[in-house]
Homo-oligomer: A and B are copies of this chain.
Amino acid sequence: MNLHGKQLIGVSTSAAGERIFRGFNPITGKALDPTFTEATPEEVDSAAHLAAEAASQLQKRGAEQRTGFLEAVADQILALGDELIERGMAETALPKARLTGERGRTMGQLRMFAGLIREGSWVEARIDTALPDREPLPRPDLRRMLVPMGPVAVFGASNFPLAFSVAGGDTASAWAAGCPVIVKAHPAHPGVSELVGRAVLAAARECNMPDGVFSMVHGASHEVGQALVSHPAIKAVGFTGSFAGGKALFDLAARRPEPIPVYAEMGSSNPLFVLPQAIAERGDRIAQGLVGSVTLGGGQFCTNPGLTVLLEGKESDAMLSRAAELFADAPACTLVHPSIKTAYDRALEEVSSIERLEVAAQASAAGPLPETDARATLLTTDAVTFLQNPRLGEEIYGPTTVAVVCQDREELLEVARSLQGHLTATIHGTDEDLETYSELVEILQGKVGRLIFNGFPTGVEVSPAMHHGGPYPATTDARATSVGTAAIQRFARPVCWQSFPSAALPLELQDENVRGIWRLVDSELTRDAV
């Protein structure tokens, strides 16, 4: 497939603008062909109008057709074959196995949402039947379910060119809810984005979806995303990326004449607490797991454990020494883009200037290119220094963790209390540790979206019980998850129909329950007809 570098405005292509940019190979340092043209405000406007038209079409066609579309997108992505993987490797330096796995995950997500809407209970149908004889007033027939919000803007992430990008989790969940999607492709992997975007359009054609169910715009500058989020036709935003980027979109959306929800997953430092008995029992293995988790994907996971909290003592010293050895021996991490490397270096420099913070170890292996070569780094400090320097509680995006050594239990709890919102927190301990530190569990529960016991936060399962979110500043909406089936709820809102004849209602609310979904009928969950 020859890449054309244009916007996909529904089934049309367009490159009316003058600003161009190119993909970049983080291993060779060379710019990649072809050039991509940034979208103009007019192109964004066209895509948004098309999406608004598609929204009402889409709602009429029902869940069946959307199911087929989601599955067809998965198939079309697979049909791109090696070309997709190779372009991904060239644009991101992520290895073949990782990209192949990520492709599988992306297809899995699309199929999971297809299954969810085929089953159908996600609409949360509730029916209160009429009570015409109730005193003092009769009760009318009330039927409520979720309906799509309307066109959604999705921002592709740099660190997951497939699973959190063009046809990733945000897009799949928005389509599943019945919303057209306009993707702002991430400029770090424009070629992968175009390939996936064209696969989506092939699937849309195959399934006879309305034009505008999908559009994609390019932009290396902020203007394109801002124009998209500001557009009155857009009704919600999905974003995965930096705090600065997510917060800017959140602020912009809140200031619109009609404010809209922004689901920005902005990463966090995912504190990992290692409790005394666990260190004594298996400090060595925890050190191994920790270094593996910190350096996974070049340290570019949003669940990267960037903070490690433990008590002082000789077993902790041994664990940190082992970790230091492993950090020193860690392979070079090639980051997706030079700008990420610059930010990583700047953050390391910034925190290294803090008194009583030490660089305990740094990987010696060099990557192919200084501009993208990040060294895995172990930083150590004490609790007092941590508590006095709020910067240490914020994310350093890249392959590093700050080990905070606490004098005693109370100091460790104080560190936990000082934390802001994070995606995850992890506790390593024995069952006895867990009892002794039940207060720690309580504190952390108030700070995070996911609590992990004796594991590592990287590796986010895509399943119904997953919650990938958390209190601000990890995300802009603690109620929302961007992974798992519950992600669909972000793009739907309830509507209640009062006293409508059954035939005029959406299928899911008609008496017969032909779809056999779970409904709350007169306060009882049932799959029966009314």
Contacts and interface: CB of A to CB of B under 8 A. Distances in A.
Contacts of A472: 258-259
Interface in A441-492: 441-442, 445-446, 448-455, 459, 461, 463-467, 469, 471-473, 476-479, 481, 486, 489, 492
A139 B465 CA distance: 12
A498 B147 contact: no
Contacts of A448: 495
A471 B420 CA distance: 31
A466 B142 contact: yes
Nearest to A493: B478
A495 B461 contact: no
* Chain A facing B: main interface SS: mixed
A174 to B, nearest CB: 14
A35 interface: no
B518 A466 contact: no
Contacts of A500: 451, 453
Contacts of A454: 499
| Contact-residue size bin, chain A (C-beta under 8 Å from the other chain) | 35 or more
Nearest to A150: B446
A255 to B, nearest CB: 8
A234 B494 CA distance: 26
Contact of A501 (B149, B453, B461): B453
Interface in A57-80: 59-60
B142 A465 contact: yes
Contacts of A489: 479
Contacts of A504: 431, 434, 438, 441, 453
A476 to B, nearest CB: 7
Contact of A127 (B127, B441, B465, B497): B465
A315 interface: no
The winner among A250, A464, A476, A496 for most chain B CB atoms within 10 A is A496
A496 B128 contact: no
Given A453-B501, A472-B258, A495 B464 contact: no
Interface in A501-530: 501, 504, 518, 520, 523, 525
A525 B518 contact: yes
A56 interface: yes
A366 interface: no
A313 B491 CA distance: 42
A136 B455 CA distance: 17
Contacts of A476: 259
Contact of A495 (B126, B250, B450, B477): B450
A251 B441 CA distance: 34
A135 to B, nearest CB: 12
Nearest to A254: B254
A455 B496 contact: no
Contacts of A1: none
B496 A450 contact: yes
Nearest to A259: B472
A494 B486 contact: yes
Given A250-B259, A504-B434, A497 B463 contact: no
A144 interface: yes
A147 B445 contact: yes
Given A450-B496, A453-B500, 9 more contacts: A60-B442, A126-B465, A144-B486, A258-B420, A438-B504, A445-B495, A451-B498, A465-B520, A486-B494
16 contacts: A56-B446, A128-B461, A128-B465, A137-B459, A139-B461, A142-B461, A143-B465, A144-B466, A250-B259, A258-B421, A261-B479, A451-B495, A451-B500, A453-B500, A469-B493, A479-B489
